[in-house]
Chains A and B, each alone.
Chain A
């Protein structure tokens, strides 16, 4: 049996023949970063390699670190392997990492989704022998409705609130989800407010050429404006004084977890919109089939269930332990504060 190109190590996923880590959770010499969420792009590594659109996010989060970038499809030889990045469709600059040595190809997916979100480069299947997949929503109960439908619901909710003279306050993750929402909001309904933790990330998107509707600081609106506005904020802001500026308002949360009633009720918001930047169950299966891989390693999420299901379908599938969190449920509030730069 040939040696594995990617193995789990104490610092994170490790490529021995290339001597680099992928999304290490502890400092490493060279960290290849799939995307800018705080559980994947951590502080302290000697050098970082990521997609060029991911770099400004890393700089904002990690400060003055050594970053080298690649375009999608561009390859580079590192040690004994040839490495390239391919669109993962998760957030802007997110990438699958393709590693090749002597005709053997491994792909580490990072986080991904299949539906084009209008912000990040859409997911592209990459042929490989071994596919390392995430499984955040790796159960068949998770099936997303098309983005256009969910965004239609969100815009209707906003319009109804605006008619009733109350603000619509949406809690959403600051990097990715926020900009995806902005991209598809119907700005004709009213003004759009962004919390200070989100605005810098919007700016990064605009600088990268993503067109987003104008966003305002909460202080820029008078009472009439506030009563019709759509406000985007990270969850922690909703417990702060910031929320009081809106007076009577309706609140909502956008996350794949909102598919379950129990989660919606626990969250205690008026509306839960199941909008996710991760693949749903059919998406995971489709992505896995699309790689042509026979060996599948399943990371964070429902690793046990998905790999057992795949084994029953004839794959050589196993769970692979990682320490990645899940930004959609905000299992790590500190990590979110970090990402948001709040």
Chain B
């Protein structure tokens, strides 16, 4: 635990990505050179790359343990928690120092102590905590509690981790990315041999092609924020680009090899079980094929569709969300909210890795594969949960810009731009002409009033950084109008702005409810969001997606903030 805790602290304290990378590389070099460490390194890499075991001890039990160990009254524990903003850190700070010191490697902690806790009762868990904490140096306690609460976040991206491994082992980053696929799946217990497989020298013939159910690393897009006038200079002529809708679903890779199939989400989770209807694809797609695309809920089957790229029946992301996180998929759910894969790339065909082939060729092959599957399905009257992402055509970028305005009406968030001559890359590449661009619509926005504030967590602990916003229930001439809460947001402000807003909140507090304060309405923010829908869970009758602060409108008096009518007008079919 000590080695892991030291690395955790070093990464946590790093103020630049350079420092972070150096900490990772230093750790990995030591680990690779020491077979004794392989088993713990397997877990370390798992956590660093974003792997998350489920919570092992409930928050309630941890609090009970803390109250007993510190002999503090419960209200004071709460007071401390609100001040710190993080339970794991609060516990680490409050517990008395250890009376003895004992250290065990991370793999022993995970495999023999922490994971088995799930099978034990609360009394046994409490006894274990007492015993362990009494022998744990204060410095190791924060990562320990983060682990057992299932909240370990280290602030290292999978890409950074991949690059660090590549650098420490002098392996090709693409090969490492391939080996990393699926490494952080939930409920995995990585072993020494997993770490060895990750860092072993490349074998002759090992070209980064995945085995059996393994997916390829996803190629990720960059946001395109260039003004339209600069498009010709940045992108060149429209003919060099494949332009598609940017769908608002789940990015997924469908793998069909040796008669079996697997579905992987972009988060590198195997999600085949959540989307059983895709099993139908196996009957109509050739073997040894890998598709990249988007999962979206579509209308339940009513009549046979004629075209493979007919997308008139796409449903919203919120319907897809209702499919996710269900332990049990009911037949009704499958019937009412069927999904389809909208395919937009072909990564493997006949067992050959196509990623180095230009987009143009991959697209032609993809069209052929999907069309053939569709006509086969039509012949037997099957409704294939597979569509082809339409290639959009326009004479120039201005025309694409106009067409992009229809995106929302089509259930899309904007457009994707992919260079026709480019290969399929790995991860989010930094630069070059081969990028994928996501050209999203500007967010919808309203001017809203800050009405509640809560203290934040992590980097923002102790600062009022999480806000609830309201809009007016009626126009200014309506004297009894009130502010209707409709969205919470906590991102978009600079640290400097947040400091000012925090000070203002403390000055204008009306009432404290635990960590939350109601404030006198004085501050107006332009609030942006990606989607909007009716909701009976919110007082305002509205729910918005990805709300964030675009601007602090210090120029705007609260009376001039928007009304609920402005939100209604943005609803699909709202007449805006």
Contact = CB atoms under 8 A, between A and B. Distances in A.
Interface in A181-211: none
Interface stretch (A29-37, A75-83, A99-107, A262-270): A262-270
Which bracket fits the contact residues of B?
20 to 34
Of the listed residues B93, B94, B460, the one surrounded by the most CB atoms of chain A closer than 10 A to its CB is: B93
Given A260-B89, A261-B12, A305-B76, A266 B495 contact: yes
Contacts of A269: 15
Given A140-B80, A262-B85, A270 B461 contact: no
Interface string A251-266: 0000000011111111
A122 to B, nearest CB: 24
A143 B461 CA distance: 18
Nearest to A266: B459
Interface string B401-419: 0000000000000000000
B288 interface: no
Contact of A140 (B72, B89, B460, B462): B72
Interface in A57-72: none
Interface string B62-86: 0000000010110110011001111
A260 B81 CA distance: 11
Given A140-B70, A260-B84, A261-B142, A266 B460 contact: yes
Contacts of A260: 83-84, 89, 93, 461-462
Interface in A243-295: 259-266, 268-271
Given A262-B461, A266-B495, A309 B142 contact: no
Contact of B83 (A141, A264, A270): A141
Interface string B487-513: 000000001000000000000000000
B459 A265 contact: yes
A141 B94 contact: yes
Interface residues of A, number: 21
Interface string A327-338: 000000000000
B458 interface: yes
B79 A263 contact: no
B455 to A, nearest CB: 9
Nearest to A143: B93
A313 to B, nearest CB: 10
B176 to A, nearest CB: 29
Contacts of A262: 84-86, 456-463
Contact of B15 (A140, A263, A268, A309): A268
A308 B93 contact: no
A39 to B, nearest CB: 16
B25 to A, nearest CB: 16
B90 interface: yes
Contacts of A268: 15
B13 A271 contact: yes
A164 to B, nearest CB: 12
Interface in B151-205: none
Interface string B430-474: 000000000000000000000000001111111100000000000
A141 B86 CA distance: 12
A261 B84 CA distance: 8
A281 B486 CA distance: 41
A283 to B, nearest CB: 15
A151 interface: no
A139 B79 contact: yes
Interface in A284-326: 302, 305, 308-309, 312
Contacts, number: 63
Of the listed residues A260, A261, A305, the one surrounded by the most CB atoms of chain B closer than 10 A to its CB is: A261
B199 to A, nearest CB: 28
B128 to A, nearest CB: 24
Nearest to B90: A141
A100 to B, nearest CB: 34
Contacts of B19: 270
Contacts of A141: 80, 83-84, 90, 93-94
Interface in B92-110: 93-94
Contacts of B86: 261-262
Given A141-B94, A308-B75, A266 B463 contact: yes
Contacts of B456: 262
Nearest to A305: B79
Interface in A132-156: 139-141, 143
Nearest to B460: A262
B83 A139 contact: yes
Given A141-B93, A259-B93, A262-B458, A309 B83 contact: no
A268 B16 CA distance: 10
Contacts of A271: 13
A140 B84 CA distance: 11
A270 B460 contact: no
Given A261-B12, A262-B462, A266-B459, A309 B89 contact: no
A124 B461 CA distance: 35
Contacts of A265: 458-459
B249 to A, nearest CB: 34
A50 B142 CA distance: 44
A143 to B, nearest CB: 8
A263 B462 contact: yes
Interface string B355-386: 00000000000000000000000000000000
B89 A261 contact: yes
Nearest to A250: B15
B463 A309 contact: no
Contact of A312 (B13, B73, B461, B463): B73
Contacts of B80: 139-141
Nearest to B456: A262
A171 to B, nearest CB: 14
Of the listed residues A143, A260, A268, A309, the one surrounded by the most CB atoms of chain B closer than 10 A to its CB is: A260
Interface string B132-166: 00000000001000000000000000000000000
A264 B13 contact: yes
A202 B19 CA distance: 34
A236 B205 CA distance: 59
Contacts of B458: 261-262, 265
Contacts of B94: 140-141
Of the listed residues B12, B457, B461, the one surrounded by the most CB atoms of chain A closer than 10 A to its CB is: B461
A265 B94 CA distance: 20
15 contacts: A140-B76, A140-B94, A141-B84, A143-B93, A260-B462, A261-B461, A262-B457, A262-B458, A263-B461, A264-B13, A266-B495, A268-B15, A270-B13, A308-B76, A309-B76
Q: Top 9 nearest A-B pairs by Cβ distance?
A: A262-B461, A265-B459, A141-B93, A141-B80, A305-B79, A139-B80, A270-B15, A261-B89, A262-B462
Given A141-B90, A262-B86, 12 more contacts: A139-B83, A140-B70, A140-B80, A141-B80, A141-B84, A260-B462, A261-B12, A261-B86, A261-B458, A262-B460, A265-B458, A271-B13
